A and B are shown apart, each in its own frame.
Chain A
Amino acid sequence: MAESAESAGESVDRPDGRRAALQAGVLALAGLLAPVVAGAQGARRKAPGDNVPRPGLPPATISPELIDAASGWLSPELRLVRRITMGLSASEATLAQQLGYSAYLERHLNAASIDDSAVNQFVATNYPTTVASLDTLSTKDSGLVQSELTNAMVYRAAFSARQLQERLVEFWTDHFNISFEKVKYLKAVDDRDVIRRYAMTSFPQLLKASAHSVAMLAYLDQTSSTSDAPNQNYAREIMELHTLGVKGGYTQTDVAELSRVLTGWTTEGKGTFVFSPSLHDYDAKTVLGVNIPAASPSTGAAAVAEGERMLDVLAAHPSTALFISTKMLKFFLRYDPSEAQIAAVASAYRSSQGNIKSMLRVVLSRQNLVAAPAKLKRPYHLVVSAVRALGAQVADPGPLSDQIANAGHQPFTWQTPDGFPDKIEYWSGDILPRWNYAAFLASADAADSVRFDVARFMTAGTAPAVVSSIDRFCFGGEMPMHLREELAAYVAPDPTDPSRVREAVSLALSAYTFQFY
């Protein structure tokens, strides 16, 4: 054990300790790698695409240099496709390269102009609860409502032509997280009438819609808050998680006061927002320095204006601009946005009254994106991106939803209001469900649920051709050299055996590089 004590100590004391330790590790691996390398180099001689210059890629021989997933992502357009879609597909890659960076971004920002009728039709036909009225929804089995809501989400993510909208739906679903388990069918209403409807409008509009969402009010116990006994849960989370952020400059007193402002915001019937004057606290309040004078109980329904005013104050607060900008940058661009990047997006927020598209144009500038390191796909993203990469046929996304659940990322099941984490530390620990999903998808051959047509990947019957197909479909033609070699070596023994090719595809989807975007 002395050597691990020593190397750990060096890691703390000397910045180069890590490199030295890694090099030692590589030497230890050399025995395992040698036969693989030999096979890979043999295959590489025939690999088409070798004539394509790939500046910046590491040499083909094994070196101790470690590889960042983004290091071979040379095309700005493909970087943009990776960020604003649920995964590269052959058709989106072609489209982006035809339109160019700005035009491709504008196309997806103007989602309403993209025809999505086929997907809408599929969802309405197969998942009728997603388009049902509140009265109808309230009579349905909540297990059915949940599975239809989840499957519709996964299907749209995979096949909607409005891909940036789906990314934003994912983002706002986490930001305004609601656990289906607690509110049941009300989340289906929230998904349709709040998240999807306002995903590409402005943050203040979205915030207001959420504050009137019966699902949100029920989820955060606002529906049981009264003037005699205000429940602080929603008041706290609206400031901590929805607008200002935990360091946004509010106090416990502000939480208590806002909870008094919001008394009376509740629901009636099957799930309709209502302001109930008899539950409201009409005494004077002060929230974030804003004085709300005492009112006569005869004010009645008009006292809802107190809460509306505070939502305006929260949406216009500088802390909200910073908090939302930072979160958007972290989701769409990089885990560690700079102060300057945050300031630029916050400035767009302030000058556009929180217009989401205006902010995204700043977040996703070419300059920002070409310098952005790779982000880890969360399981939902990984599952959908693999379907898109393979062009898999999906008649029933249920098995895909199950796979996402296996990896701990089933939509609408995060219990606490902070939403699923988007941190590499959280998701990187659980790798096996990713590998098992890849094995599932690559071998999927069920016409009534999920089917991957492997024949598309083996037209030429040689290992290099198989690898080139995988590269084109799954990596936009930017598959790292070492991965091409590793895959070719795996296929080489039997490139005309569909089982072997399916396994190679599963390995490509399991590979380190494919986990990033």
Chain B
Amino acid sequence: MGDNGRTNCGCREYNELSRRNFIIGSAGAAVFGAIMPAWLPKVVFARSANSSRDVIVNIFQRGGADGLSLVAPYTDANYYAARPTIAIPRPDSGKVHRGTALDGTFQFAEGMLGLLPAYRGGELLVLQGAGLSFSSRSHFDAQHFIEVGKADDLSLSSGWLGRHLATSDPMTPGATLRGVAVANGLPDTLAGAPKTLPIPDPGNFSIDGNGDTTNARTDWLATDYFRGTGLLRSTALDAAATIALLRSINVGGYMPSNGARYPDSSFGTSLRAAAALIKADIGVEAIQVDIDGWDTHTTADPLAGQLYNLMSDFADSVGAFWADVLQGSGRWNVTLVSMSEFGRNVRQNGDAGTDHGRGGVMFVMGHHVSGGRVLTRDWQPLATDNLEDDQDLKVTIDHRDVLAEIVKNRLGNPNLDVIFPDYTPSMLGVTK
């Protein structure tokens, strides 16, 4: 059955132009008004004048990643005493499975070696003892507080990255799609972001059915949702516009450059799609990718099994992204940051696993990241007296210090008091 076009003007360019206009004219501003609590400070809108603004890739390692396995303090006897069966042998231990020194204090686990080239290339910064200053061992609270950028405030439901996008001009004027979560639903981090959608598979984003009527049905839906209210309305309008946009990009056929090989995992595939979206240069400037499974209460042997596999997936994927996007053709300007909601107990539990802890590890990667080092603050041996509640690595680096410096220096947005309300970040020299 053909589409006779009676219900719309039948002129595709005209329809798309109109749709683009009304989305730009309304949805972004409406969402902005809805997500900003009245108590937030006045916004000084970030301009796109800074031509060196980076795209940001934000990774959430959900579950509470064991920072003391990923980046272990190999010179600390307390570490080996607290973890009799799951500690990673020293680089000089002579063991077959052992750590690889990053400096005189910390080592990568074997599973993390995919990140070694980026570290040695000076573009990967490791932060140890990082996390949420507010003490919570609940996955859900800790994740939520990190994602919204402020602890324990129910009036704030938009995310820090959502507010960054809402308070900055698009990097590409008129961009249809500014933010993407490679996920089935929008994570809290991006809540409230204009022109932002969850797209689980960027290579396949369209309305099913008769191709002859796709445009007519898309227009019908845009018209219908235009009369609605709230978030569903704005996401529907953005989706309608994005269908047309992604149809023009071949994400599925994307070929990484520089010989980079992404693991064939959910996370690896998602980062590969992120690379494709960035290189398509369509104005996407914030991408969130999650990697689940870090809640290793049991069998957390970092040399084999679940934790080892997860570390390998993580490090090989991020390593491939570095080789492909940051080192490959074009040397794209991207800052990648990764964190988890908390680290884990210093002591292992009875199941060769670890329970919920506090301080963890963060990673920051990019051309303008002051990398090739492990950054700590007031680092102390893991003796019981130095631990929080006698059991956990303290949080000595607030995650907002790291993120705020990236937002200000690499994303060109000065509205730190809106993005991280009621907090004065300390600049640690994350960027250069």
List residues of A whose CB falls within 8 A of some B CB.
Answer: 1, 4-5, 7-9, 11-13, 17-18, 21-22, 24-29, 31-33, 35-36, 39, 66-69, 221, 224-226, 228-233, 236, 240, 246, 252, 255, 376, 407-408, 415-416, 418, 421, 424-432, 435-436, 439-440, 443, 482-483, 486, 489-490, 492-494, 497, 499-500, 503, 506-507, 510-513, 515
Contact = CB atoms under 8 A, between A and B. Distances in A.
Interface residues of B, number: 92
B172 to A, nearest CB: 11
Contacts of A512: 224-225, 227-228, 232-233, 236
Contacts of A255: 137
Contacts of A226: 350
B209 interface: yes
Contacts, number: 242
B226 A515 contact: no
A428 B235 contact: yes
Interface of B: 1, 4, 6-9, 14-15, 18-19, 21-22, 24-30, 32-34, 36, 40, 42-43, 45, 47-48, 62-63, 137-141, 157, 166-167, 169-170, 173, 181, 183-186, 188, 191, 196-198, 200, 205-210, 213, 216-217, 219-233, 235-236, 239, 243, 292-293, 295, 297-298, 349-351, 355-356, 389
Given A430-B184, A499-B210, A503-B217, A25 B26 contact: yes
Contacts of A489: 6-7
A428 B137 contact: no
B4 to A, nearest CB: 5
Contacts of A418: 139-140
A429 B230 CA distance: 11
| Interface of A, helix, strand, loop or mixed by DSSP | helix
Nearest to A229: B350
Indicate the member of B28, B181, B236, B295 with the most A CB atoms within 10 Å: B236
B36 A12 contact: yes
14 contacts: A1-B47, A4-B24, A11-B33, A25-B25, A33-B223, A66-B233, A224-B298, A231-B350, A416-B139, A425-B186, A427-B185, A429-B185, A429-B231, A512-B228
Nearest to A37: B223
B43 A428 contact: no
A431 B235 contact: yes
Nearest to B166: A8
Nearest to A63: B227
B15 A32 contact: yes
Contacts of B207: 432, 435-436, 439
B301 to A, nearest CB: 15
Contacts of A18: 29-30, 33-34
Nearest to B36: A12
Given A8-B166, A430-B198, A499-B210, A21 B33 contact: yes
Contacts of A66: 227-229, 233
A510 B220 CA distance: 10
Contact of B209 (A9, A11, A432, A443): A443
A9 B231 contact: no
Given A21-B33, A428-B232, 8 more contacts: A4-B24, A11-B29, A232-B356, A428-B230, A432-B243, A435-B207, A435-B221, A512-B228
Indicate the member of A66, A429, A493, A497 with the most B CB atoms within 10 Å: A429
B26 A28 contact: yes
A221 B209 CA distance: 46
Given A18-B33, A25-B26, A408 B208 contact: no
B224 A511 contact: yes
A430 B28 CA distance: 17
Contacts of B232: 376, 424, 428, 431, 512, 515
Contacts of B173: 1
B219 A236 contact: no
Contacts of B166: 8
Contacts of A5: 45, 47, 169
A405 B220 CA distance: 26
A247 to B, nearest CB: 9
Nearest to A14: B33
A510 B25 contact: no
Nearest to B418: A12
B297 A506 contact: no
A1 B169 contact: yes
A442 to B, nearest CB: 9
B167 A440 contact: no
A8 B167 contact: yes
Contacts of B222: 32
Contacts of B235: 428-431
